[in-house]
Amino acid sequence: MEKNPLAPEILFSIGPVPISRAVVTTWLIMAVLLIVVRVVLRKPQVRAGAAQTALEIVVETISHQIRAILGRDPWPFMPLLGTLFIFLVVANLSAVLPGAKPPTGHIETPAALAGIVFLSVHFFGLHTRGAADYLRHYIEPNPFMLPLNVLSELTRTFSLMIRLFGNMMSHEFVLAIVVFLAGLLLPIPFMLLGILIGIIQAYIFTVLATVYIGAAVGSVES
């Protein structure tokens, strides 16, 4: 029987729960990011070094982008959106490492991230506007719109997942085919293109998450 290329590669199991390569890679990325942040920010300096300056530039750039979209103080949303963007950049760019496969090229990781965005949208909406006002927007402009508004919430979350998964999976497949046909040197331009694609996909995913949250809190049009 031929192996399904979309099936997750199971490395081991914890009791009845199978653990795939994508999950292990995600754990490793999370551990690396945690260690880097702990080391860089262990003793923050007024006169920051190169690492601290680079991290501050990334954080400030993300906060300015969030402010531009939401039109309000970005810092309540930074723990989610900033972490989401940095994780996606690192996860997508892991494809350039020899033998590594980006976890975003497997459906479970984009599905989990899209699920986090889905729950976060409702959390920020309820927290910012209150339950009555937030739930009222599902029956606007009239109660007959309730099924369509609920369906819209589900379909946009699904499209968020599929967009990230499809782009990263297709690039991984193309790179593997080129390596097989042309050897190891010619695919270098494709790897450089992959870096650009990985950063762009992280940006698009984060911007869409920001727009969805903005619609929930009333900062942007639904």
Read off the pLDDT of residues 50-85 as tens digits, 9 standing for 90 and up: 777 888 888 899 999 999 998 888 999 999 999 999
74 part of a folded domain: yes
Tens digit of each residue's pLDDT (9 = 90 or more) over 173-193: 766 666 666 655 555 666 777
In the numeric block, the tokens 């450089």 are attached to: 192
Collapsing DSSP states into helix, strand and coil, what is residue 24?
helix
| CA 69 to chain centroid | 17
The 3-state DSSP class for residue 190 equals helix
Out of 22-36, 165-179, 186-200, the most confident range is 22-36
Does 1 reside within a domain?
A: no
**How many domains does the chain fold into?**
1
Residues whose CB is less than 8 angstroms from the CB of residue 35 and which lie 6 or more positions away in sequence, other chains included: none
**What sign does the CA torsion over 102, 107, 112, 117 have?**
positive
Residue 95 lies in a domain: yes
Domain contains 222: no
3-state secondary structure of 124: helix
Domain that holds residue 29: 10-217
Would you say residue 4 lies in a domain?
no
139 has pLDDT over 70: yes
Assess whether pLDDT exceeds 60 at residue 166. yes
Do the domain assignments include residue 159? yes
How far does CA 106 lie from the centroid of its chain? 13
